[in-house]
Structure 1
Amino acid sequence: MCGITGWVSFRPDTLATQAGHDLQNAGVIEAMTATMARRGPDAAGVWLGTHAALGHRRLSVLDPVGGVQPMADRPDRPGVVLSYSGEVYNHHRLRAELRRLGHEFRTRSDTEVVLRGYQQWGTGLADRLEGMYAFAIWDEHREQLLLVRDRLGVKPLFWARIDGGVAFGSEPKALFAHPELSPRVDADGLREAYSLLFNTGPTLWAGVREVPPGGLLVIGRDGIREHRYWELTARPHTADLPGTVEQVRSLVNHTARAQLEADVPLCSLLSGGLDSTVLTALAADELRLTYGTQARLRSYAVDYSDQAESFTGDVLRTGHDTPYAAEAGRFIGTDHSTVVLDPLALLDPEHRRAVVVARDSPIGVGDMDTSLYLLFGEIRRHSTVALSGEAADEVFGGYPWFHNPAAIAAETFPWLLVTGDEAAMPLNPELAAELRIGEFRDATYRDALVAVPHLDGEDPTEHRQRELQHLSLTRWLRQLLHRKDRLSMAQGLEVRVPYCDHRLVEYAFNTPWSMKSHDGREKSLLRDVGTGMAPESVLYRPKNHYPATHHPEYTRGLQQLARAALDLSAVREIADAAVLKPALDAAPERLSWGQRLRLERVVDLSLWLDHHRPTLTL
């Protein structure tokens, strides 16, 4: 896992075509690359050509010696240069195919497989890759830059126009190190941030866009061409229930085992829920098959020092995770650890600032972000790669909105019924009148439904469930993947998400809802797969979200931080202090989850404004 950045420009005096520009442009690409240091703590490299510059920060996972980047097809006179982030899990098979086609390899890295694959197949390479990745390829002969992102959008990739071309990077902060770009936010950006709709393409930052999941850009002298090489499609499902369970078992088994390759220590995130337990069981079994029966997979859970005494359920959490995680670890036979955090450490301004800087956004989930950041820091002391159960709820129908009649019938994005219309932030009335977020949500929802593929003759239940799953996979999942990527990479930890395998996603998307809920509850197919791999208590445990602290002193400290944030005029230009006042004055133990989340985001807003100093053009 790494950080990539760079630019291409066809303006004659932009790069090294004039005396004195070499040093200036080398400084620019080095500055852009330096912003990615936490994503790649092991090495740094840059390449500077006549019309393009590529930068790379490396987290060494495969072939630490051979996988140095940016990587060129030949060192003396490069024709193709690559800056690549991620993992291609089918690189062994592709390497064998490319060798049969006459290609020679200098390394055993998956990076070189991507490079040689482009030489053989051009942009058609994207269709052949299996994994999580974002990369940039400069083709000197064609004078074009190719930007590619994986199908589910696990790895981020942003870009913005500059004079004569574009700049790109794994994170927006890399773009802002380019002299032609600066952090600027307009009304459209605030709509994107505070509507909680998670659109593909536009971002919080004016002029900055994401390469869509399953998308690629080709930038040349004739302009910019965008192409989607992968999207969800509707296909008939012909298998019966036993055959469907067997196919899901095969797909889950394949993707879990395929993602274990690493030349560095690997572990699993084990929360004590169904998703992570099945994944951990498969990974642990594969390690024993590979390294012998004594091999043990490390697994980690997170908890708070007061949780056993002060846990109280809420709209997202039905129970305390730690006992279930420990039981699952014993059942599977992992080397299990629980990272216990002090709730008051989550108030540390430096921790919170690190999270906001990592996310490049004021929209997070407060203590759940900070605790995840600290958890990843502890894990990184022992492991460089971790497996995580992200996307199982989207793939197998785990969220409440798949099952709640009110959510199913609602004519809006279903998660808004859980988060609440104002959970993102009660906006200053003048700003709210300008943004008209309600209208924006309604229009976006209508457009989102149009994009859902359907089969002729679907009954109403299947039709609606396909909509809910498509919305969840193409929108809700995006912010979870962003969160996991940013907070893990801020600690130099690579997190892999096997449930995001596109073949598994495609198959489950086209499996009838009647099969996905055949036992009358959530994630029926994954429970079938997990039978025998997990304790009964975990198999039939209700859905539980990532834990949050319930310590009243944390809530009291959060109220103090939010009061200080609202003392700032720049914060009050965005947030409605009057609406937030009851949450500031309430007894800490009486604060609802939604009220607390608003306070979390006010604090993050103040940190974001202070760090980025964005120009607001509203």
Structure 2
Amino acid sequence: MCGIAGIFARQPGDPIDSQTLVNMAAIQHHRGPDNYGYCNPANMGVGMSHARLSIIDLDEDRGRQPFWLHGGHLMFVHNGEFYDYQRIRTDLAAKGMHFESKSDSEIVPHLYQELGMAGTLPLLRGEFAFALYDDAEDALYLVRDRFGIKPLYWTITDNSVVFGSEVKVVLAHPDVNAEIDTHGLFHQLIQVMVPGTTAFKGIQQVEPGHMLKITRNGGEFQVETTKYWDMDFPLAGTRPQREDDYYVQGVRDQLIEAVNLRLNADVPVGCYLSGGIDSCSILGLASAYHQDPIKAFTISFDNKDYDEADIATEMAHSVKADQDILNLNADLLYDNFSRTIWHTERTIYNTLAVAKLMMSQHVKHVDYKVVLTGEGSDELFAGYPAFRKDMFLHGMEGLDPEQAKDWRAALESNNKLFSGAMLPKDEYSSSDINDKVGFTPSCLQPWLGCSEYARHLIHPNRRDEIADYEPGKAIAHKLDATYLQDRHPLDKAQYVWIKTMLEGQILTWGGDRVDMANSMEARPAFLDHHLAEFACQIPPEMRIRGNKEKYVLREAMKGVLPETLYKREKFAFMAPPAHTDDAKWQKLRALLKRYVSDESLASTDLIDQDYLATLIAKQEDPATPDADKVQIDAVLNHVLGVMLLHHHFIAQDVSQLAYEKAQSLGWVV
């Protein structure tokens, strides 16, 4: 895993400043501390840079990027991992192609030369973001993996296209202005983002499973966007009738292959381990194919209602893993909140993001660079309580009223802690999403339900911009009806989650950004696209059977999981909210006082200080219901995050910070 950056000028003759490219690499040194490189040939108007984290081919010079290949006609820079690349290299070498390194990255320019981009992308397996410039076409390609595991941001200035692995990399270019977008601010306050957007005006993301082709035409950029992959659930009623064993064995086979591929590295590989069946399944399979005990990293919280360490320990003992438990309390979580926002570049509703950052720091301190993780399982196999709710409300016609009553009571009782976050406190319906999906998925309702909070919180000077703004409409516009029409309700709910919460939350502030903050590569085996394509074919009743979510995965991992885990109901992994004890609340209040003072609020025109005071008073009122407090806790975290975004990226000159970082590293050219 690494960090990439680049500049594509409006005219081939426009020079690309070498130091700017190096600064863009330096500001993401945390993503790639092992080496750096840059390339900007004269009279081509294109340059790229790279900060390298050595995982495959540790040779310092041989694996250096950007690659400048095929007689100087292709420039390529890559962040991520390609699995099964050895087979592809062998096939290409047999056709006479010469490789300059042992890196997995180098397969892409060679494949492109042989097959073009349309032929290359279906062959790539893994998590990746890359840029490729083709001199013959005078075209820049920006490509992101199928689920958005690896980030890729871009913008257009007066003079060029600027891209990079993080927003701060784009802001390191002196021509890019840092400004909070009002609609982006709205979505920061309600947690759920519009796919492809950021909090910053003019800075976009390449969407998962998409490719941009940017060409120059007389000083103007032409941007062509192509979707090359999506979660394609079968039309309702078209799944073939198969025995349960077919799906159970299929999941087992596909997951074993995905895990085995991700154990390939030239450095030690560990596993993240919580008390859920997802990470436990990964550890169990990895242990079976690994000669030595695998290092298993577990987070333990200082609140037993949210802590899963004991269950994780049972799993670790069952496979003789070398478990390493990191104990986290309020001091550690809130003392690292500001640093976390510097890396996430978006707000967070819960300190789980901070916990993940602290864990990746611990992993680095014990000299590990790579871990396998369990993200993606809930998305593929319907593990979240919101999916179960949608399954029973919309996917089971004619359900007996008494059975429905019992089901609802069990769901609410077992997930009481997460009402207002993982489950809606109140029902929320968006007419625009209803028109596109058929209903408003439960996963979006808690966050869209914060819209009125957001409208009151946004500074009066900005309210005209959101007077008629409907966040549900903006989200619905980005959902592809082709993959929603005539699908089962559970398929629809999972599709919407994957397009919104998976990429915008779990893989961002819960994944890459807090992992790579400490130069640590996370490999989510469940998000192998071969496994995902198989999972699409699994009938809804094999994903949720009765009150048992992820039924097919449980059956596939029977024998790998201890009995306790096999039978355990899904428990959402979440850090204890601030209102759950006074120490945490006082820590949050101290951060609000420091970064969200009346003076800072008055000078930024972002947040309405009067309404914020009303929310804080409501949070401190003992009469406020717990579900309301969960929701307000999330909103207050978002407010703090917004002000930290301003503190880190608006109040400071990021381009100057990038140059100073390059100087401190000795990267001056």
**Relative to 1, partners in 2 of residues 1:455 and 1:245: Cα closer, same or farther, differing over 3 Å?**
farther
User: Structure 1 residue 560 and structure 2 residue 547: aligned?
Assistant: no
Distance in structure 2 (CA, Å) of the matches to 1:2 and 1:494: 9
* 1:365 aligned partner: 349
**Relative to 1, partners in 2 of residues 1:402 and 1:432: Cα closer, same or farther, differing over 3 Å?**
farther
CA contact (8 A) 2:189 2:638 kept: no
User: Structure 1 residue 480 and structure 2 residue 510: aligned?
Assistant: no
Q: What displacement does 1:559 show? A: 2.2
Per-residue CA shift, 1:272-310, capped at 9, x if unaligned? 21000001111111113xxxxxx1110010113x33xxx
Distance in structure 2 (CA, Å) of the matches to 1:249 and 1:345: 38
CA contact (8 A) 2:270 2:370 kept: yes
Q: What displacement does 1:571 show? A: 6.3
Task: Select which of 261, 268, 271 maps to 2:274.
Answer: 271
CA contact (8 A) 1:11 1:163 kept: no
Distance in structure 2 (CA, Å) of the matches to 1:231 and 1:431: 40
Code of the residue aligned with 1:285 in structure 2: it is A
Distance in structure 2 (CA, Å) of the matches to 1:155 and 1:581: 36
* 2:75 aligned partner: 81
* 1:21 aligned partner: none
Code of the residue aligned with 2:278 in structure 1: it is D
Per-residue CA shift, 1:334-381, capped at 9, x if unaligned? 111111123212222xx22211110122x1134222121111100112
Q: What displacement does 1:561 show? A: 2.4
TM superposition outliers: structure 1 runs of 4+ over 3 Å = 194-197, 405-411, 416-420, 423-426, 428-439, 444-450, 570-573, 583-591
The farther-off stretch of 252-261 and 555-564 is 555-564
Per-residue CA shift, 1:448-507, capped at 9, x if unaligned? 666252576x6xxxx211210110112111121012110000111000111111122222
Distance in structure 1 (CA, Å) of the matches to 2:637 and 2:547: 36
CA contact (8 A) 2:349 2:633 kept: no
User: Structure 1 residue 225 and structure 2 residue 246: aligned?
Assistant: no
TM-score, length-normalised on structure 1? 0.88
Distance in structure 1 (CA, Å) of the matches to 2:500 and 2:507: 10
Question: Which structure 1 residue ranges, 5 or more long, are not aligned?
Answer: 17-24, 289-294
* 2:122 aligned partner: 127
- What is the SS of the residue equivalent to 1:145? strand
Q: Map 1:315-394; keep pairs closer than 5 Å.
A: 320-348=307-335, 351-361=336-346, 363-382=347-366, 383-394=368-379
Distance in structure 2 (CA, Å) of the matches to 1:443 and 1:537: 43
Code of the residue aligned with 2:473 in structure 1: it is A
**Relative to 1, partners in 2 of residues 1:266 and 1:519: Cα closer, same or farther, differing over 3 Å?**
same
* 1:20 aligned partner: none
User: Structure 1 residue 580 and structure 2 residue 606: aligned?
Assistant: no
CA contact (8 A) 1:583 1:599 kept: no
User: Structure 1 residue 302 and structure 2 residue 332: aligned?
Assistant: no
Distance in structure 2 (CA, Å) of the matches to 1:431 and 1:522: 46
- What is the SS of the residue equivalent to 1:104? coil
- What is the SS of the residue equivalent to 2:225? strand
CA contact (8 A) 1:559 1:584 kept: no
- What is the SS of the residue equivalent to 1:167? strand
User: Structure 1 residue 181 and structure 2 residue 176: aligned?
Assistant: yes
Identical pairs, percent = 27
Distance in structure 2 (CA, Å) of the matches to 1:449 and 1:115: 31
Distance in structure 1 (CA, Å) of the matches to 2:520 and 2:91: 31
* 1:593 aligned partner: 630
* 1:113 aligned partner: 107
Q: What displacement does 1:106 show? A: 2.7
CA contact (8 A) 1:553 1:588 kept: no
Q: What displacement does 1:581 show? A: 2.7
* 2:152 aligned partner: 157
Distance in structure 1 (CA, Å) of the matches to 2:75 and 2:257: 32
* 2:287 aligned partner: 284
Q: What is the root-mean-square deviation of aligned Cα atoms in Å?
A: 2.6
Question: Which structure 2 residue ranges, 5 or more long, are not aligned?
Answer: 395-428, 430-438, 653-669
The farther-off stretch of 178-187 and 402-411 is 402-411
Q: Map 1:522-533; keep pairs closer than 5 Å.
A: 522-533=549-560
Per-residue CA shift, 1:391-449, capped at 9, x if unaligned? 11111001111112699455434224445722885623736853548852332454466
User: Structure 1 residue 8 and structure 2 residue 3: aligned?
Assistant: no
Q: What displacement does 1:219 show? A: 1.7
Q: Map 1:382-531; keep pairs closer than 5 Å.
A: 382=366, 383-404=368-389, 408=393, 411-419=439-447, 421-422=449-450, 425=454, 427-428=457-458, 430=460, 433-434=463-464, 436=466, 439-444=469-474, 446-447=476-477, 451=481, 453=483, 463-478=488-503, 479-483=505-509, 484-518=511-545, 520-531=547-558
Q: What displacement does 1:10 show? A: 3.3
**Relative to 1, partners in 2 of residues 1:217 and 1:356: Cα closer, same or farther, differing over 3 Å?**
same
Distance in structure 2 (CA, Å) of the matches to 1:408 and 1:326: 36
Q: What displacement does 1:593 show? A: 2.2
CA contact (8 A) 1:72 1:82 kept: yes
Task: Select which of 69, 78, 81 maps to 2:65.
Answer: 69
Task: Select which of 89, 93, 112 maps to 1:99.
Answer: 93
CA contact (8 A) 1:192 1:202 kept: no
- What is the SS of the residue equivalent to 1:62? coil
CA contact (8 A) 2:129 2:145 kept: yes
CA contact (8 A) 1:45 1:70 kept: yes
Per-residue CA shift, 1:564-594, capped at 9, x if unaligned? 4142324674243243232463469997322
- What is the SS of the residue equivalent to 2:266? coil
Distance in structure 2 (CA, Å) of the matches to 1:369 and 1:28: 31
Code of the residue aligned with 1:388 in structure 2: it is T
Per-residue CA shift, 1:212-264, capped at 9, x if unaligned? 11111122223222111112223343233211111111111111111111111
Distance in structure 2 (CA, Å) of the matches to 1:201 and 1:420: 18
| Count of residue pairs brought into register by the alignment | 581
Per-residue CA shift, 1:506-545, capped at 9, x if unaligned? 2222322112123541100110111001111111222122
Task: Select which of 166, 171, 174 maps to 2:166.
Answer: 171
- What is the SS of the residue equivalent to 2:4? strand
Distance in structure 1 (CA, Å) of the matches to 2:468 and 2:392: 18
Per-residue CA shift, 1:51-100, capped at 9, x if unaligned? 101000011000011321112226xx522121110000020121122122
**Relative to 1, partners in 2 of residues 1:199 and 1:573: Cα closer, same or farther, differing over 3 Å?**
closer
Code of the residue aligned with 2:449 in structure 1: it is D
* 1:237 aligned partner: 239
Code of the residue aligned with 1:298 in structure 2: it is K
TM-score, length-normalised on structure 2? 0.82
CA contact (8 A) 1:401 1:407 kept: no
- What is the SS of the residue equivalent to 2:290? helix
